[in-house]
Amino acid sequence: MKKITVIGAGFAGLKAIKQLRQLDKNSEITLISPRAELHYLPGIIWIPNGLRTREDLTVPLANFFKRERVNLHQANVTGVSADGRIVHTDKGDVVNDGLLIATGGRFIKKLPGIEHSITPCEGIDAAERIRERLKTMESGTIAVGFAGNPNEPSAMRGGPMFEFLFGIDTLLRQQGRRERFHLVFFSPAAQPGNRLGPKAMSGLLAEMGKRGIETHLGHKMVAFEADKVRTEGGEFKADLILFMPGMTGNAWFDNTSLPRSAGGMIQADKHCKVAGLQNVYVAGDAGTFPGPDWLPKQAHIADLQAVAAAKNLLAELNGQPADATFKVELICIIDSVNKGSLVMRTEKRALALPSMRVFHWLKRAFEWWYLRAYR
């Protein structure tokens, strides 16, 4: 019986398990993760306004593991050796015939004073901190921004920051206290959101103008202070700072011989195969893949990569051609609590539809549809 190890219980890891079990009813599948639950991070944008709670976005995976006959090794990974055949954890080693890495990335926390900011996509805890801060603030300046990894153009997560920005603006308006707050959007990029396509980017900036949101763009970040954002182009006051830094690879990658990109991710080919290793694949934010510079780090592409990686891992284990690839595309709805804008991009075209209520409800319906597979 083949032993397959999947690392990570996020979007890519769970999608890979579904695909592996669909194609192979007999292999022994072991999932390594520090927790036995899925946190649906796309929904944390609705925690500050009360549309979602921790309980809404936390899915215990016991039923999923039972249905898919998955062994959970609940632990933190500390390294990989023997060309991927042994995974080291703080709860012992796990041996495999095939390995699929889907651990996501980590945020680069090197900017001086970054402890004065909240990084929303770190999870539910961060979104709850934002909610509580907004409740206690009577007025002030709220600064929202993001940056990237200069060595890895795709290793950023800007979309959610637009959603937090517009969502907070909408919430304050619904509460009748928007006039007491000053909102600022900042980024070292002169054209933030350009990866979504030129039309989407211009639409986002136009929306900020309509909402009276100030922009501070194109200046390298210098530091945060308790009440201030400092850039090479000047500084501005901020009573609450939400900042999404660029991403890099997990710390345990350093305890392996896995090939790395300049930005610290695991180097893979178009088949999601880790360069130079047998029966080792990667999917999602943990990897660097060939493609356009706008290739996103998002749940949708992670799912597509997970399917390709699972198919190819099984094919290689069975001595068959491992030639599955993933579709290069970006699809997202940029939500603003009561409306949303649909953005799509492929290698041939880019589409950005105006903000409409139907897209907000479509995003909520997709959440329900997606999560039912893991409940």
Q: Are 183 and 295 in contact (CB under 8 A)?
A: no
My answer on whether 113 and 237 are in the same domain is yes
Bin 18: left if φ > 0, else alpha if -120 < ψ < 50, else beta: alpha
Q: What is the CATH number of the domain that holds 168?
A: 3.50.50.60
The whole-model pTM stands at 0.96
159-174 helix and 198-210 helix, angle to the nearest 10 degrees: 20
For residue 130, the SS3 value is helix
Domain-embedded: residue 287: yes
Structural domain of residue 138, as residue ranges?
108-246
My answer on whether 168 and 242 are in the same domain is yes
Domain-embedded: residue 343: no
Domain-embedded: residue 171: yes
My answer on whether 100 and 112 are in the same domain is no
Mean pLDDT of 156-161: 90
What is the C-alpha end-to-end distance of the chain, expressed in Å? Answer: 28
Q: Which of 37-46, 287-296, 306-315 has the lowest mean pLDDT?
A: 287-296
**Is residue 50 exposed (0-12), middle (13-18) or buried (19+ Cβ within 10 Å)?**
exposed
My answer on whether 154 and 76 are in the same domain is no
At 154, the pLDDT band (50, 70, 90 cuts) reads confident
Residue 153 in this model has a pLDDT that exceeds 80: no
My answer on whether 114 and 242 are in the same domain is yes
My answer on whether 253 and 181 are in the same domain is no
My answer on whether 73 and 154 are in the same domain is no
My answer on whether 241 and 259 are in the same domain is no
Domain-embedded: residue 357: no
Nearest to 199 by CA among 363, 298, 295, 334: 334
pLDDT at 156: 84
How many domains in the chain? Answer: 2
CA distance 281 to 286: 11
Mean pLDDT of the chain: 96
My answer on whether 231 and 304 are in the same domain is no
Domain-embedded: residue 271: yes
My answer on whether 137 and 213 are in the same domain is yes
My answer on whether 241 and 287 are in the same domain is no
My answer on whether 21 and 112 are in the same domain is no
Of 246, 262, 284, the one marking the end of a domain is 246
Domain-embedded: residue 164: yes
